[in-house]
Structure 1
């Protein structure tokens, strides 16, 4: 017998109720039928899941583990069905996010200002996974992500995409007291000995793309911080303990500076991605407009007020998609 979701539901209910009659009532079957079903499930798994004492039931050690996993699967299936129902009916909220907290706030604000057909449910940037993975597996509906232009990304047939920023040269964040902070642009080879805060995983899964780009320059970066958003780690940069990559819309706090990298060795793109079937074409267009407006707003309020902007060449500045 192959295990099915209904078998996992039986395990979860019996473990929760702790009584065969109570579990049978919850499942809408007789106690005898339930007992036979539990026996078939245990034979299929090759282990005893429950101990019985009269009408009472308790889990064995392996039974507790199986019941916990069964509850997780049953809950996920229920959520999946609810997601499908919501999206088919068009009643569910549109889960919207980005992989940058600063940009997230602006993007959501501009999305609210449009006449989106569905209500919005803002989801702050996720940790422990890439935003694209969250779209692919149904945890998000639409989001703006930053991806290295040189990175080889695996295409996901369930995810759509539109480029918002065609060319976004990465900057370097330094302490204002760093010896290279006074230069107009910084050669990344001169920072090879520094402790680096690397781009978050969505920008660069596993840092492999960055390593490939820098490998062509003969540069290997050392990092005790790993991939991490710059925002909460600015104190490490300001005090000179680390240097970091940064996007042009970042804002340097007092004691920190942003500088273009000479010859722009690392170029990113900002892309709107969505789960196909979860959002209509009209709402995709509204999200595209909101994403572009949010980026232009950030350039005005952050990048164009930073010391690096007035002297930067045109190829060191972002290019928005037309």
Structure 2
């Protein structure tokens, strides 16, 4: 009988478990079948690998040497398989997205311009759930997300995926009808909007999250919504008509009849982060994505925020701070 990798795994598992029944349970075979297999392996090698020891078995002197070599080979085989898996992944299209449709278009455009080494597969912003969850469960490879500062989900995300901050601090704005009584103010106190009907965005910026709820509770504010989570874009008509208000990011663009205003004292801020599933990108592609994400954000600031009415009068702490 020629030794095979599966025989080495048998030897390693038996040595680790210290008994045939326990090793058989681990390998998913009967104790009798495993005992026969161990006998065949010993005959093929021409030596005794295990001896009785108490209620189980232990390695003989030569058995310890065989088990040590077997584990080395098994580790090398595992590394070989990982190399092959990584190589296959490097040939697959890179699935990229963001949690904002307006930003998504610009991010994808700049990603193509960076001459990525892998073909790109743009994935439109996902409806429902969070984009970070889509990265961790394998639906996308890399994305730019807007994440609330101090959100507990941040800690969990760091253990699963890689990340680079694109915007260190992104103050949230409020979207109002131009005819709203507060629209003429330079900034709006969120407490003055406590009785409004809110459109809640279906992204990492979730006004129902623990982080936001804690901030609002300190201010004595509870938001109500008859709209549920929706993108602001399709629901701008409700805002323009004065039926709702919404959070918005600085790169949003208000249509005629709508305005954006900073929140006084900036009670809620976010960060814009590039996140990727560990192993999905190499270091060079990470840097390309970082450049694309930063360029897309600067482009949006120029084309949208800096042409909106709130920008010229906003204080420096009411404007985004980009990562270096």
1:166 is matched with which residue?
168
More displaced stretch, 254-263 vs 153-162:
153-162
In 2, the alpha carbon distance for the partners of 1:201 and 1:182 equals 28
In 1, the alpha carbon distance for the partners of 2:87 and 2:272 equals 26
In 1, the alpha carbon distance for the partners of 2:199 and 2:133 equals 23
1:251 is matched with which residue?
253
In 2, the alpha carbon distance for the partners of 1:89 and 1:313 equals 46
Equivalent pair of 2:144/2:274 in contact (CA under 8 Å) = yes
**Offset at residue 135 of structure 1 (A):** 0.5
2:274 is matched with which residue?
272
1:66 is matched with which residue?
none
1:181 is matched with which residue?
183
Whether 2:142 is the aligned partner of 1:142: answer yes
**Offset at residue 85 of structure 1 (A):** 4.7
Equivalent pair of 1:201/1:207 in contact (CA under 8 Å) = no
Write out per-residue CA displacement over residues 239-263 of structure 1, whole angstroms, 9 at most, x where no aligned residue: 0000000000000000000000000
**Offset at residue 205 of structure 1 (A):** 7.8
Equivalent pair of 1:150/1:267 in contact (CA under 8 Å) = no
User: After the TM superposition, which residues 176-215 of structure 1 pair with which residues of structure 2 at under 5 Å, given as runs?
Assistant: 176-204=178-206, 206-215=208-217
Whether 2:243 is the aligned partner of 1:241: answer yes
Equivalent pair of 1:96/1:143 in contact (CA under 8 Å) = yes
**Offset at residue 201 of structure 1 (A):** 3.7
Aligned length: 240
Gapped runs of 5+ residues in structure 2?
A: 1-83
Q: Which runs of 4+ in 1 moved over 6 A?
A: none
In 1, the alpha carbon distance for the partners of 2:130 and 2:205 equals 9
Whether 2:119 is the aligned partner of 1:119: answer yes
1:96 is matched with which residue?
96
In 1, the alpha carbon distance for the partners of 2:111 and 2:102 equals 15
Cα pair distance change 1:138/1:260, threshold 3 Å:
same
In 1, the alpha carbon distance for the partners of 2:124 and 2:288 equals 20
Cα pair distance change 1:230/1:304, threshold 3 Å:
same
In 2, the alpha carbon distance for the partners of 1:316 and 1:216 equals 21
**Offset at residue 218 of structure 1 (A):** 0.8
More displaced stretch, 156-165 vs 91-100:
156-165
Equivalent pair of 1:199/1:227 in contact (CA under 8 Å) = yes
In 1, the alpha carbon distance for the partners of 2:156 and 2:300 equals 29
**Offset at residue 86 of structure 1 (A):** 7.4
2:156 is matched with which residue?
155
**Offset at residue 304 of structure 1 (A):** 0.2
Write out per-residue CA displacement over residues 31-75 of structure 1, whole angstroms, 9 at most, x where no aligned residue: xxxxxxxxxxxxxxxxxxxxxxxxxxxxxxxxxxxxxxxxxxxxx
Cα pair distance change 1:205/1:247, threshold 3 Å:
closer
1:306 is matched with which residue?
308
In 1, the alpha carbon distance for the partners of 2:141 and 2:167 equals 20
Equivalent pair of 2:89/2:280 in contact (CA under 8 Å) = no
Cα pair distance change 1:179/1:123, threshold 3 Å:
same
In 2, the alpha carbon distance for the partners of 1:198 and 1:204 equals 7
Secondary structure of the equivalent of 1:212? helix
Secondary structure of the equivalent of 2:297? helix
Equivalent pair of 1:151/1:204 in contact (CA under 8 Å) = no
Secondary structure of the equivalent of 2:156? coil
User: TM-score under structure 1 normalisation?
Assistant: 0.72
In 1, the alpha carbon distance for the partners of 2:89 and 2:143 equals 22
Secondary structure of the equivalent of 1:270? strand
Write out per-residue CA displacement over residues 257-276 of structure 1, whole angstroms, 9 at most, x where no aligned residue: 00000000000000000001
**Offset at residue 97 of structure 1 (A):** 0.3
